Chain A
Amino acid sequence: MAQAVAANEEQMDRWAVIWDWITTSDHKKIGLLYFWTSMAFFFVGGFLALGVRSQLAVPNSTMLSPEVYNQFFTMHALVMIFLALMPMSAAFFNYIIPLQIGARDVAFPRLNSFSYWVYLFGGLLLCSGFLFGAAPDIGWTGYATLSSAQYTPGQSGDFYVMGLQVLGISTLAAGLNFFVTILNMRAPGMSLMRMPMFVWMSLITFVLIMLAFPSLTIALFALMMDRNFDTVFFSPTDGSVVMWQHLFWIFGHPEVYILILPSFGIISEVLPTFSRKPLFGYSFVVFSGIAIGFLGFGVWVHHMFTVGLGPIPNMVFSSVTMLIAIPTGVKILNWLATLWGGSIRLTTAMLFAVAFVGMFTIGGISGVMHAAVPIDYWQHDTYFVVAHLHYVLFGGTMFGLIAGIYYWFPKMYGRYMSEGLGRIHFWLTLIGFNLTFFPMHFLGVDGMPRRIYTYPSDYGYELWNMVATIGAYVLGLGMALMVFNLIKSIRSGAPAPADAWDGRTIEWTTTSPPAKHNFDHIPQIRARDDFWDEKYNRKEEKDKPADEHIHLPPGSYIPLLLSFGLLLMGAGVIFTLWLSLIGGIVTTVALFAWAFEPND
C-alpha cells in the first residue's frame, strides 16, 4: 500500500513515505499499522504454541527444557492476548469506528498514534526477554509468590512487569480516546440507539478498559515494588499472597470480555449483512452487552475457587458467574434469529461468523461448568480449562476477528480477498481448531494438569495429545493460508466497489479505500442501518449539503518520541535505573513539545 502511494507521487521518495507512516495521525493508517503488527505478533504467538504442542506430542519429551517450555507457554499467552488479539481489535476500532460513526478522524489523533507506538515498543520490550534468555516464565497470570524476586530472580519477572505496564498505558490511552470519539463525534442524527452494533460493543469495551486496567496497573506496580524496592505487598508473612490474585483477576475477568466484545460486535455486523436482514433484537443485544460488561466486574473470584476463600464467597461468585450466561445466551439466540428467515450468502466472512456462534457456545458452556464450584475443584488447572479458554478466545474472539478481516478487507484495500482460498482457509481452521482443542476436554477428564512441560507415559495422555498436536499444525497451515490470501489479494484481488457486500452501515457509502478525509460530506443519519435504509426505503432525493471546510490535523513525530521515552523508562527498571532517568527526560521533553506543538 505504501508503495502505491510512492509510485503516484514520484517526488515523494522512500524516506518520505516511511516518515509519513511514522508520523501519521490518520486513523486508517494507524489502523493498518495495528493490523499488520498484530498479525506479525499472532504468528509469534502461534510459533510458540507450536513449540508447546510439539513438546507435548509425546510423553517424556525432551525437545524443550522445562525452563524454555515455561517461557514458551507464558509468552504464548501474553503475546496472543496483549500483542495479537487486543491490538487486532484495535485495528478495527481505528479503521472502522470513525467510518461507522461518520467522523473524519478520532477525537485525539496524536494520542492515537501515541497508543500505537507504545504498543509496538511495549511488545518489543516484552518479547526482547527472549534475547536475554529471560523471557517471562511464570504463566501469564504471574501468581505471587512465584513471581517474587526470591523465586523468580533475575530479569524475567521484570520483563513481565514492565512489558505489561507499558502495554497497559497504550491500551488505556486508546480506550479513553475512542470512548470520547464515539460519544462526541457521531454524525448528525446518529443517536446512541442508531449506532452500528460494532460501535456499541466497542464502546462497552472501552468502558471496561477504563475501569479494569487500573487494577492491573496497581498489581504490576506493587509487584515491581516488591521485586525491586523491598515492599511487602505479596509477602506471605507481612502482606498477602492472595492479594495478587484478587488484583489480577479484578482486571483479568473484565479483560476476557474486553477480548470478546469487539468480536460480538463484528459478528453483529457480518450476520445481518449476509442474511440481508437487520440484527434481530437490536436493543436486547445492546443491553445484554451492557449487562455482560457490568456483571464482568463481579465474578473475578471464579478464577480463585480453589484458593479456599470459604463456601460463602464461592457460592456468591458462582451465582454471579452463571448469571452472565443469560445475557450471553440472549446474544446467541438473537444471532440465530437474525439468520432465521434471511437470505444467507455463505461468503468466507459469513462462514467464520456462523462458526463463531457454534464454537463460542461450546466455550461458553464449558465456562458454565467451571462456574459450578465443585466441578471447578476438579477442572481448575486441568486441560479442561485450556480447552475452555481456547474455545472462547480462538473459537470466539479470533473467529470473529477473521470474519472482520474478510468483511472489511475490501473497504481497506479496495479489493476482495479470494473466496476460494478463503473457503479452504475456513475449513482448515475449523477442522484444525476442533482437532486441537476438543481433545483437551478429554485430557481434562483424565486429570492432565495445565502448564506441565511433560507427562509420564502410563497416564493415558498420549493419544489425545498427539491428536491435538496434529490439529495445531493443521490450524497453523490454515492461518498461514490466510496471510497468503491477504498478500495475494492486496496485489491482485478483484476490485471492490464502495458498497462491497450490499452493506447496511455508512462505512460502505464512501470509496474503497476511503479518501484521507473519509467522507466528502458528513452524512446525515436518519435510521439504524442508515445506508440500507437509504438504498431500499427512502423515496426522496438525498439533499446535497453545503460544501464543508475539511480540516485534517498534520502528522507529528512527537507521539513516537513520547512512547520512546516510556520505553526507556520501562527498560530502565529491567536493566539499570540510569536508563529510566534518560527515559524520564525524553518523556518530559516530549510532553512539553506535545503541549506546545501547534496542531490546528
Chain B
Amino acid sequence: MADLIRCRRGIVLGTLAPLLTLVLAGCSGITGGEVQSANELAGDNARSIWNLFVPIFWLSVVIFVLVQGALIYAVIKFRAKEGDPIPAQLHGNTKVEVAWTIAPAIILAVILVPTITTIASLAEEPDDPYVVDVVGHQWWWEFEYEDEGFKTGNVMHIPVDQPVEVRMTASDVIHSFYAPNLFGKQDLIPGRTTHIYFTAEETGEFYGQCYEFCGVQHANMHFRIMVHEQDEFDEWIASQQEGAIEPEPDTIEAEGKEVFFQQGAACHACHAIDGAVAEDGTEAVAEVGPNLTNLGDRPILGAGSLENTPENLRDWIRDPHESKPGNEMPAFSESQISDEDLDALVAYLSSLR
C-alpha cells in the first residue's frame, strides 16, 4: 500500500513538473529577453509570427492539460484493487469515436485559418522596399547594397520603419538567415534566390546567425543588423560610398596599409578595401573573404567568433583557427608578418570605418 501511494505521488510530480514549466514558459518567466530571443519583438514580420504562436500555444496548453489530466486521473482512479471483478469488456462506442474525431478537426481548423493568412501576408512584397542582397559563404555573410554600389560583411545596416527586402543566395552550400527579433528565417540556396520582407520597428543592434548546418564552422556564422534612423542611415550610406578612410601619411596606419599589400601578407589577394591603393598601384578588390572597408566599425570579427577589439584582431590575423577552427582564412606567422608590421596592420584595419 505504501508502494502504491509513493507511486501515485510520483506520477503526479513527474507529469506536473513539465506542465508547470510549460505554463511558466508561457508567462515568459523562464525564457526570453535574451539577445536572440524570438519573443523580444522589434520587427513586423517577427511580430506576426509571435501573434500566431501565442493563441496556438495556449490551445496547446489546454490540450496538454486535458490529456495529461485525464491520463493521470484514469491511472489513479482505476488502479486495480484486491478482489476487483473483471471490468466490463467495453469494445468501443461509435458516437464517442466520431465526436473525438471531429473535435481535433475543429481545433485544427481554428489553427489553420490564421496560419494560412499569415503565410500569405509574410510572402507579400511591400511597395518599394529597400533592397539588400545577401550572399552566404562558408562561414561569413556578404551584404551588397547594389544601387549604392558597395558591399560589406557580417554586419547589415538598414533604416528603421522602412520595408526591407532581403534578397538572398549562397555561393557554396545552403545557409539560413534569421534574426529572431526582426523576422522569420529563410534559407540561402546556391542557384536559387529567396526573399524575406520585413520592417524594423526599433533602432538598435540585433543579433542573428546561420541556422542551416553548413559545415565545420556553422556555429560561428553570426551576423548583426544595425537599425538606424533614416538620416543616420543616409549618412552611413554616404560614408560607405566614399570608400575606405585614407590614413594620414607617415602614421602607423599608413604603414599598416602597405603591410596589407606587402608580399608576406598579401591580404588583398582575398580581401577588398574600397578605394585603398598601394604605393605600387595595386588595388584591394578581391572577394574571397569579407570586404574590410569599414572593419573598424563592426562589433564582431570572423562572423562573431570574436569581439572586435585590436587585441582580438591581432590574434585573428596571427591565427584565425584559434577562435574559429577550420575557417578558410590562412594563419600568418611571424615570418610572414613581423610583430611590428602586425601592429601597424591592426591599427590600419581598426581605423577603417
- Could you list which residues of chain A lie within 8 angstroms of chain B, going by C-beta atoms? 65-67, 70, 138-139, 143-146, 151, 236-237, 240-242, 275-278, 280-284, 306-308, 310-311, 314-315, 318-319, 322-323, 325-326, 329-330, 332-334, 336-337, 339-346, 354-355, 357-358, 361-362, 365-366, 368-369, 372-375, 377-378, 380-382, 423, 427, 430-431, 434, 438, 441-442, 445-456, 458-461, 464, 536
- Taking the nearest CB of chain B, how far is it from the CB of A79, in angstroms? 18
A-B contact sample (17 more), CB < 8 A, given A329-B101, A372-B56, A447-B36: A66-B217, A145-B172, A146-B174, A236-B190, A278-B89, A306-B184, A307-B189, A308-B186, A336-B67, A336-B71, A368-B111, A374-B118, A375-B53, A381-B212, A438-B21, A449-B210, A455-B219
List the 6 closest A-B pairs by CB distance, nearest first: A377-B184, A236-B191, A460-B34, A452-B219, A447-B36, A236-B190
- Taking the nearest CB of chain B, how far is it from the CB of A389, in angstroms? 15
Q: Which of A310, A319, A536 has the most CB of B within 10 A?
A: A319
User: For residue B14, which residues in chain A have a CB less than 8 angstroms away from its CB?
Assistant: 355, 427, 430-431, 434
| Interchain CB contact under 8 A, A343 and B186 | no
Which of B119-127, B224-232, B336-344 faces chain A?
A: B119-127
User: For residue B119, which residues in chain A have a CB less than 8 angstroms away from its CB?
Assistant: 311, 314-315, 318, 373-374
| Interchain CB contact under 8 A, B79 and A346 | yes
Q: Say yes or no: A241-B190 contact (C-beta < 8 A), given A145-B173, A339-B75, A446-B37.
A: yes
Task: Say which residue of A278, A345, A381, A455 sits within 8 Å of B211 (CB atoms).
Answer: A381
Q: Say yes or no: A307-B187 contact (C-beta < 8 A), given A66-B216, A446-B37.
A: yes
| Interchain CB contact under 8 A, A449 and B211 | yes
- Taking the nearest CB of chain A, how far is it from the CB of B141, in angstroms? 15
- Taking the nearest CB of chain B, how far is it from the CB of A399, in angstroms? 13
Q: Say yes or no: A449-B209 contact (C-beta < 8 A), given A145-B173, A362-B18, A372-B56.
A: yes
Q: How does the 8 Å CB contact mask read for B270-286 relative to A, with 1 for contact and 0 for none?
A: 00000000000000000
Q: Does B236 contact A (CB under 8 A)?
A: no
- Taking the nearest CB of chain A, how far is it from the CB of B315, in angstroms? 15
| Interchain CB contact under 8 A, B67 and A375 | no
Query: In the complex the two chains form, what is the Cα distance from A522 to B8 in whole Å?
Result: 42
Q: Say yes or no: A325-B189 contact (C-beta < 8 A), given A67-B216, A70-B216, A381-B211.
A: no
| Interchain CB contact under 8 A, A308 and B195 | yes
| Interchain CB contact under 8 A, B185 and A378 | yes
- Taking the nearest CB of chain B, how far is it from the CB of A441, in angstroms? 7
| Interchain CB contact under 8 A, B216 and A242 | no
Q: Does B333 contact A (CB under 8 A)?
A: no
Q: Does B288 contact A (CB under 8 A)?
A: no
Query: In the complex the two chains form, what is the Cα distance from A458 to B205 in whole Å?
Result: 15
User: For residue B31, which residues in chain A have a CB less than 8 angstroms away from its CB?
Assistant: 442, 445-446, 464
- Taking the nearest CB of chain A, how far is it from the CB of B167, in angstroms? 11
User: For residue B214, which residues in chain A have a CB less than 8 angstroms away from its CB?
Assistant: 146
Q: Does B39 contact A (CB under 8 A)?
A: yes
| Interchain CB contact under 8 A, B186 and A306 | yes
A-B contact pairs, 5 of them (CB 8 A): A276-B80, A330-B97, A336-B70, A337-B96, A342-B87
Query: In the complex the two chains form, what is the Cα distance from A427 to B15 in whole Å?
Result: 11
Task: Say which residue of B48, B173, B212 sits within 8 Å of A374 (CB atoms).
Answer: B48
Q: Say yes or no: A446-B32 contact (C-beta < 8 A), given A151-B172, A276-B86, A368-B60.
A: yes
Query: In the complex the two chains form, what is the Cα distance from A372 to B118 in whole Å?
Result: 9
- Could you list which residues of chain B lie within 8 angstroms of chain A, going by C-beta atoms? 7, 10, 14-15, 17-18, 21-22, 25, 30-39, 46, 48-49, 52-53, 56-57, 60, 63-64, 67-68, 70-71, 74-75, 78-81, 84, 86-93, 96-97, 100-101, 103-105, 108, 111-112, 115-116, 118-120, 122-123, 138, 172-174, 176, 178, 180, 183-187, 189-192, 194-195, 207, 209-220, 304, 325-326
Q: Say yes or no: A374-B190 contact (C-beta < 8 A), given A322-B112, A381-B185.
A: no
| Interchain CB contact under 8 A, A442 and B30 | yes
User: For residue B60, which residues in chain A have a CB less than 8 angstroms away from its CB?
Assistant: 365-366, 368-369
Closest to B121 in A: A374
Chain A contact residues, majority secondary structure: helix
Task: Say which residue of A151, A278, A372 sits within 8 Å of B52 (CB atoms).
Answer: A372
User: For residue B90, which residues in chain A have a CB less than 8 angstroms away from its CB?
Assistant: 277-278, 280, 341
Query: In the complex the two chains form, what is the Cα distance from A319 to B112 in whole Å?
Result: 7
| Interchain CB contact under 8 A, A341 and B185 | no
User: For residue A138, which residues in chain B have a CB less than 8 angstroms away from its CB?
Assistant: 213
Query: In the complex the two chains form, what is the Cα distance from A280 to B90 in whole Å?
Result: 7
User: For residue A344, which residues in chain B have a CB less than 8 angstroms away from its CB?
Assistant: 74-75, 78-80
Query: In the complex the two chains form, what is the Cα distance from A334 to B92 in whole Å?
Result: 9
User: For residue B93, which residues in chain A have a CB less than 8 angstroms away from its CB?
Assistant: 280-281
- Taking the nearest CB of chain A, how far is it from the CB of B185, in angstroms? 5
Closest to A461 in B: B34
Query: In the complex the two chains form, what is the Cα distance from A150 to B196 in whole Å?
Result: 29
| Interchain CB contact under 8 A, B78 and A341 | yes
| Interchain CB contact under 8 A, B75 and A346 | yes
Task: Say which residue of A143, A145, A339, A345 sits within 8 Å of B74 (CB atoms).
Answer: A339
Closest to A280 in B: B92
User: For residue A67, which residues in chain B have a CB less than 8 angstroms away from its CB?
Assistant: 216, 325-326
Query: In the complex the two chains form, what is the Cα distance from A580 to B123 in whole Å?
Result: 50
| Interchain CB contact under 8 A, B191 and A445 | no
User: For residue B173, which residues in chain A have a CB less than 8 angstroms away from its CB?
Assistant: 143, 145-146, 151
- Taking the nearest CB of chain A, how far is it from the CB of B312, in angstroms? 13
Closest to A143 in B: B174
Query: In the complex the two chains form, what is the Cα distance from A361 to B219 in whole Å?
Result: 31
- Taking the nearest CB of chain A, how far is it from the CB of B211, in angstroms? 4
Closest to A437 in B: B18
User: For residue A277, which residues in chain B have a CB less than 8 angstroms away from its CB?
Assistant: 87-90
User: For residue A282, which residues in chain B have a CB less than 8 angstroms away from its CB?
Assistant: 91-92
| Interchain CB contact under 8 A, A306 and B185 | yes
Q: Say yes or no: A427-B10 contact (C-beta < 8 A), given A445-B37, A455-B219.
A: yes
User: For residue B185, which residues in chain A have a CB less than 8 angstroms away from its CB?
Assistant: 306, 377-378, 380-381
User: For residue B217, which residues in chain A have a CB less than 8 angstroms away from its CB?
Assistant: 66
- Taking the nearest CB of chain B, how far is it from the CB of A280, in angstroms? 5
Task: Say which residue of A151, A241, A423 sits within 8 Å of B192 (CB atoms).
Answer: A241
- Taking the nearest CB of chain B, how far is it from the CB of A57, in angstroms? 15
User: For residue B120, which residues in chain A have a CB less than 8 angstroms away from its CB?
Assistant: 311, 315
Q: Say yes or no: A340-B36 contact (C-beta < 8 A), given A145-B172, A329-B100, A358-B15.
A: no
User: For residue B53, which residues in chain A have a CB less than 8 angstroms away from its CB?
Assistant: 369, 372, 375, 378
Query: In the complex the two chains form, what is the Cα distance from A291 to B231 in whole Å?
Result: 58
- Taking the nearest CB of chain B, how far is it from the CB of A325, in angstroms? 6
- Taking the nearest CB of chain B, how far is it from the CB of A378, in angstroms? 5
Query: In the complex the two chains form, what is the Cα distance from A374 to B52 in whole Å?
Result: 8
Q: Which of B53, B63, B88, B100 has the most CB of A within 10 A?
A: B100
Closest to A375 in B: B53
User: For residue B49, which residues in chain A have a CB less than 8 angstroms away from its CB?
Assistant: 374-375, 377-378
Query: In the complex the two chains form, what is the Cα distance from A472 to B98 in whole Å?
Result: 41
| Interchain CB contact under 8 A, B71 and A358 | yes
- Taking the nearest CB of chain B, how far is it from the CB of A197, in angstroms? 13
Query: In the complex the two chains form, what is the Cα distance from A450 to B53 in whole Å?
Result: 20
User: For residue A458, which residues in chain B have a CB less than 8 angstroms away from its CB?
Assistant: 35
Closest to A373 in B: B119
Query: In the complex the two chains form, what is the Cα distance from A339 to B73 in whole Å?
Result: 10
Task: Say which residue of B67, B89, B116, B218 sits within 8 Å of A332 (CB atoms).
Answer: B67
Query: In the complex the two chains form, what is the Cα distance from A345 to B90 in whole Å?
Result: 18
